[in-house]
Every structure is written in structure tokens, then in C-alpha cells.
Amino acid sequence: MDIEELSKSQLILLTILINFVTSVATGILTVSLLDRAPALVTQTVNRVVEHTIETVAAAVPAVAPQPAPAPSNQDLVMSAISESAARTVTLYPSDAGTTTPALSVGAYLPSSRAVVTGAQDSLPKETIIEFANGARFPASLAHSGKGLMIYGFADDATLPKEPQATLVSSGSLKLGQTALALAADGSAATGIVARVSDGSVHTTLPDIGAGSAAVNLNGDIIGVSAGGTPGVLVSTNAITELLTATTTSADAKGASPAASK
């Protein structure tokens, strides 16, 4: 058959066959020559091959590792609410029984070994604090003022380990920032920071009940409700001032709330 009579497909197949046979023959010839060549020549050829491989490998772009997906807004909200729930405590009378009605709710500050709640005339100087895991510990009023009451525990009390509570100062808050809270009845509420004034943080949250803490998307506390006006929180600046006060409003023997971070 004349080569001119071959179709394009046949010509391509013929070219591939010739290249394959040539490559195999070249490989066999190269190996045979290297077996008979002096050691110096063999070493030189190996170095050239290694250098060629290194050059080609360096030219290939490295595949960058894929970054982990950023958490969604819903994930942040659920995580912040979960941390807030873990720090939410319930206050009972000092002689509380299993069926005694609760006096109020509050927020546990692990680093200070203290509980902060909204100031109420019905709250006694001595109380029982129930944690989220059901553990109960006696506590004494250590500081009060600025619409808040802070209770401390005995130094030898082995308190539950809950997520740390970072107090966000009012100066660090931004208008429109997300505000989350667990109401006294256990329901979750969402809102935004609407206005920040001296000692108060105004939000669009509903009435969450005195003592309930509001947090941001990181789970950090931005304020505590003193009750009365829906959405108005006592800023964390007041909490810090009370925790660092050198005098107390009550004789709280054994109570030792330290300065919060």
C-alpha cells in the first residue's frame, strides 16, 4: 500500500508506532552503552538526569492547602448562646429546698469566682447559687452598686469549670453589633447594639429579666440586664469597677471575687 493512500488517522497511528519503537530502541541502546561506558561517564549522565528532574519539579507550582471554611453566622450564634447558657446560674434562698422558687438568675464569672446579677430588693446577702450542671454552692454578697449585685464563694469551694467570660467594655462596642441573650425563662433572644451611653448599653433585645447577661458573637459579655426597661443593659465597666473595689457593701466572709480579666 502506498503511504499516500493512508488516511489521516492511519498516518497518526503510524507516527505513534514509529515514535514508540524509536523510544524503546533508544532506551535499550542507552542502557547497553552505559553498561559498557566508564564509571565517570555513567556518573555524569546520572547527575544530568537528577538535575533535570529537580528543575522540572521546581517548576511545577505547589498546591496550596485549602483553608478551613469560616464558621457561618448561625454557627457563631449557636456557639455564643451555648457559652452563655453554660455560665447562666440561678439564685435561691440560703435555706432553699428542691421546690423553692428561684429568686433571680445571674452570670458566672469563672476567672473571678463570682456571680453578677441585677440589683433587686428581694435578694438576700446570703444565697445558694445553682450552676448549669445542677451543682449548688452557698455564696455571699460581696459588692453592690450601679444596678448590680456581685456574690462571691468560699475560697475552698470547688466550682464547676465553665467557659471563661471576657468582659467587653462599652468603649469597644459598635453600633449595629450583634447582641445575644438567654432570658430568665430560658428562651434565646437576638438583637443589636443601638446606643451606648454612660454606664448603659441600649439594645433591641426584649425584656430578658434582671440578671441575664447579653453576649456578642464571640460569647463575650457586653452587659447585664438590671430589669425594668427592655433592651437596656448595665455595661461591663460597672462590673469591673465593682470587682476591683477595695470595700464591700456587705460583710461577705469567705467570699473572694478577684478582679476580672
| All structural domains of the chain with their residue ranges | 8-49, 73-243
SS3 annotation, 165-223: CCECCHHHCCCCCEEEEECCCCCEEEEEEEEEECCEEEECCCCCCCCCEEECCCCCEEE
What is the mean predicted confidence (pLDDT) over 163-188?
A: 92
What is the mean predicted confidence (pLDDT) over 191-204?
A: 92
Greater confidence (27 vs 243) lies with: 243
Q: Based on the number of CB atoms within 10 Å of its own CB, is 9 exposed (0-12), middle (13-18) or buried (19 or more)?
A: exposed
Do 147 and 238 meet the contact criterion of CB atoms below 8 Å apart?
yes
Sign for the pseudo-dihedral over CA of 221, 227, 231, 232: negative
Lowest mean pLDDT among 72-81, 84-93, 192-201, 243-252: 243-252
Q: Is 107 helix (H, G, I), strand (E, B) or coil?
A: strand
What is the mean predicted confidence (pLDDT) over 132-156?
A: 94
Question: Which of the four pLDDT bands, split at 50, 70 and 90, describes residue 31?
Answer: low
Do 208 and 189 meet the contact criterion of CB atoms below 8 Å apart?
yes
**Prediction pTM value:** 0.68
> Residue 240, by phi and psi: left (phi above 0), alpha (psi -120 to 50) or beta?
alpha
- Nearest CA-CA partner of 177 in 222, 240, 230, 232: 222
pLDDT at residue 206 greater than cutoff 90? yes
Question: Which tens digit of pLDDT belongs to each residue from 117-128?
Answer: 999 888 999 999
End-to-end CA distance of the chain: give it in Å, rounded: 93
Sign for the pseudo-dihedral over CA of 166, 170, 176, 179: positive
pLDDT at 211: 93
pLDDT at 120: 87
pLDDT at residue 67 greater than cutoff 90? no
Task: Report helix angle 8-36 to 39-59, nearest 10.
Answer: 130
Lowest mean pLDDT among 65-69, 201-205, 233-237: 65-69
Q: Which CATH class is domain 73-243?
A: mainly beta
